[in-house]
Amino acid sequence: MKYTITVAAFGLIAACSEPSSNGSGDAQAPAETAQTATPEDVADDISTVDTVKTVYDGFATGDIALATSNFAESIVWTEAENSPYADQNPYEGTDEIVTGLFARLGGEWEYFNAVPSEFIAEGNRVVSLGRYTAKHGETGKEMDIPFVHVWTVEDGEITSFQQYTDTLAHTAVMTTDPE
């Protein structure tokens, strides 16, 4: 599995998203100069990413204890708006996440994979980009949709999660076709 760690990506994205022109059509550098990451910053970002990777490693092996091992006691987990699982948003604490979300996923899907392909970290935030692949147990329909996950890590513990995904496609896979 390929993991890409991009340090200071948020600043770079912001700097590249609004180019200004000097009248000649050439883009100018942003007014503020980006700060160079120190080795300590890079090490902190790698550590933060490793904390988040533990969740995906647990999912991949079906080890819920591993997946939740870095959750803070007061973690707040928010599913995407209009997601079939947003009905209990926000999930607060590991018990609510496991019983209200993970158990439902395990019971309703033949398989459900969340596979990250890239990680972007800055400070205590980690953004993971990836894909969900899954097969719904009742409908037999499969899905392969992208996701963006935004994680907050404080003192080595995950304190929040926000999901962004194609909720229309996700819901369609769970819906039985009329006969």
Q: Taking the mean position of all CA atoms in its chain, how far away is CA 113?
A: 13
Largest distance between two CA atoms of the chain: 62
Cα–Cα distance measured from residue 93 to residue 30, given in angstroms and rounded to the nearest whole number: 41
Give the list of residues 6+ apart from residue 170 with CB closer than 8 angstroms, or none: 83, 84, 132, 143, 145
Can you tell me whether residue 22 is helix, strand or coil? coil
**53-76 pLDDT per residue, tens:** 999 999 999 999 999 999 999 999
Q: Domains along the chain?
A: 5-11+38-174 (3.10.450.50)
**125-147 pLDDT per residue, tens:** 999 999 999 999 999 999 999 99
**12-50 pLDDT per residue, tens:** 222 233 333 344 444 444 344 344 444 454 455 569 999
Higher pLDDT, 36 or 116: 116
Q: What's the confidence (pLDDT) of residue 72?
A: 98
Is a pLDDT exceeding 50 seen at residue 116? yes
Contact 173, 141 (CB under 8 A): yes
Cα–Cα distance measured from residue 9 to residue 172, given in angstroms and rounded to the nearest whole number: 33
Query: pLDDT band at residue 178, thresholds of 50, 70 and 90?
Result: confident
Cα–Cα distance measured from residue 57 to residue 95, given in angstroms and rounded to the nearest whole number: 19
This prediction's pTM: 0.75
Mean of the per-residue pLDDT values for the chain?
81
Question: Using CA atoms in the order 44, 162, 85, 178, what is the torsion angle rounded to 10 degrees?
Answer: -110
Cα–Cα distance measured from residue 77 to residue 131, given in angstroms and rounded to the nearest whole number: 19
